[in-house]
Amino acid sequence: MELVFDDQALTDLEDIFHWIAQDSPVAAKAVVDRLFSCTELLTSFPFMGHIGHDPETLEWVVPRLPYIVVYEVDQAAQRVIVTAVLHGSQDRDRAK
Q: Residues with Cβ < 8 Å from 67, sequence gap 6 or more?
A: 16, 35, 61, 85, 86, 87, 88
Q: Tell me if residue 25 falls in helix, strand or coil.
A: helix
Please provide residue 51's backbone torsions phi and psi, each rounded to the nearest 5 degrees: -55, 135
Per-residue exposure over 13-39, b if at least 16 CB sit within 10 Å of its own CB, e if not = beebbeebeeeeeeebeebbeebeebb
Taking 50 as the threshold, does the pLDDT of residue 33 lie above it?
yes
CATH 3.30.2310.20: does it fit domain 2-87? Answer: yes
- pTM listed for this prediction: 0.90
39-91: pLDDT as tens digits: 999 999 999 999 998 989 999 999 999 999 999 999 999 999 999 999 987 76
